Amino acid sequence: MQLLLDPLSFKVPNARDATGAPPTPLISIHDSASHCQTCCTREHCLPLALTSDQLKQFDGLITKRIRLRKNDALFRTGDAFSALYSIRYGSVKTTILTEDGWEQISGYHILGEIIGFDGIATHIHGVGATALEDTEVCALPFMSIEGLSRTLPVLQHNLHQLMSKEIGRDQNMMFILGSMNAEQRLAAFLLNLASRYRRRGYSSTEFTLRLTREELGSYLGLKLETVSRMFSRFQAEGIVQAQGRSVKLLDSGALKRITERNRAVPELAC
């Protein structure tokens, strides 16, 4: 089989932080005991449902991982696109820069999720991606993945499905920002995050929110004071317990009723 890009010569951007500190070294997967066959996030990644032989073909394309420290940039707005990135552990925020240099949070991504789809059409990343904590990602060389998917229909289906989910998330966020008030936006976000953790086998009622209150406000189109006020209201009503970055959902049913108040709200994509 002829691949469009030799995975051994594939290069990924070195992680770098906002201060220009030295990049974090790439990790060679061939020096690690962990591969796609044994990865705990595989069922949420591209090789889902591949046979053993197909998985070996896919695994051969993934030669590098990138280890990020908090605030390291995986890629920046305007960087050349060459790969998708699967989050093995940690979390990443994506941001859009306006013409006047203002940064808007456009996405909050957790383990098992894939980022980088924004660069497929133009071959340039339209957003930046920054680690919110110690994070590790697998680099998925897109041309090689695309080439292999032409011979493996199940891989092509997985790729299309992940792209469709990304579109669905964008549409749901537009709905939230355009149709919900502040209380509903926060409730919808917490329910969505809980669902994403549940699908990955983690607690859907207790988790650490790596976004600051200010960053969450940017993501939801709310002021910092509004986000803080909504958390205080939910806590006073016995719906949510929030202490620092730790969040505990005490009454998910109440959160759902808030999102459904006076309107029919579609199920959020996970």
Alpha-helical runs (H) found in the chain: 52-59, 142-149, 153-179, 182-199, 213-220, 224-236, 252-260
Look at residue 3 in the predicted model and tell me its pLDDT. Answer: 34
Statement: 7-168 belongs to CATH 3.30.1490.270: no
Please measure the distance between the N-terminal and C-terminal CA atoms of the chain and give it in whole angstroms.
Answer: 34
CATH class of the structural domain 180-260: mainly alpha
Q: Which helix (H) or strand (E) holds 104?
A: strand 103-110
Look at residue 267 in the predicted model and tell me its pLDDT. Answer: 46
pTM of the model: 0.83
Domains 7-168 and 180-260 share a fold: no
| Domain definitions of the chain by residue range | 7-168, 180-260
| pLDDT-based confidence at residue 246 (cuts at 50, 70, 90) | very high
157 is written with which tokens? 């289906």
pLDDT of residue 251 exceeding 90: yes
Look at residue 6 in the predicted model and tell me its pLDDT. Answer: 37
39 is written with which tokens? 């990865």
Mean pLDDT of the chain: 84
Look at residue 14 in the predicted model and tell me its pLDDT. Answer: 52
pLDDT top residue among 251 and 65: 251
Q: Centre a 10 Å sphere on the Cβ of residue 208 and count the other Cβ atoms it contains.
A: 10
